[in-house]
Amino acid sequence: MKSVLLFVLLLALAGAAQADRGAQVYAQCAGCHQANGQGIAAAFPALAGELPRIAAKGKDGRLFPARVLLFGLQGPIVSQGKNVSGVMPSFGYLSDADLAAVLNYVFKAWGNDKLLPKDFKPLSPAEVAALRPEKLNPQQVYQSWKKLGLK
């Protein structure tokens, strides 16, 4: 019984540590996407309310934000009903663990957790690592946005 409790405690601590790390990494993003995840109209898309909408597009939607962080994004998108035509740089220099942590942070922040699909699972560093060999350019990532049928 003690070992089960210890295991549960360790899992909880690991989850809390990842959430803390995600918030720390997000500090690099807040200049554009803002501390509240609302972005800046026409320049930087909101993450609040938007990531659950993307995640609802299935596996490709769930992984799309990881591709954006790994490879960047260039092309017009719509965020909260508004056109955004900025350029997202690649953050592929970050570790797989840091990318997974920040993605999981933003998937849960600002009420996003209440809007996610019921079967949503956090991204793992291994899933991020598995995307790296794709070596997409920002325009190719934009094409994957279009394939998701997001407006």
Closest CA to 18 of 97, 95, 108: 97
pLDDT (tens digit per residue) in 104-148: 999 999 999 999 999 999 999 999 999 999 999 999 999 999 898
pTM: 0.84
CATH class of the domain defined by 2-147: mainly alpha
pLDDT (tens digit per residue) in 20-35: 888 898 888 888 898 9
pLDDT exceeds 50 at position 65: yes
Question: Are 116 and 146 within 8 A, CB to CB?
Answer: no
pLDDT exceeds 50 at position 13: no
Q: How far apart are CA 21 and CA 53, in angstroms?
A: 24
**What pLDDT sits at residue 2?**
53
Closest CA to 22 of 88, 87, 108: 108
67 vs 20, residue with greater confidence: 67
Q: What is the arithmetic mean of pLDDT over 33-47?
A: 90
Which tokens is 50 given?
């938007």
Q: Where do we find the tokens 């350029």?
A: 87
Q: How far apart are CA 27 and CA 48, in angstroms?
A: 15
Q: How far apart are CA 110 and CA 58, in angstroms?
A: 21
**What pLDDT sits at residue 97?**
96
- Residue 79: what are its φ and ψ, rounded to 5°? -130, 120
Which tokens is 142 given?
């934009």
The residues facing 87 across adjacent strands are 74
**What pLDDT sits at residue 1?**
53
**What pLDDT sits at residue 10?**
37
pLDDT exceeds 80 at position 88: yes
pLDDT exceeds 50 at position 42: yes
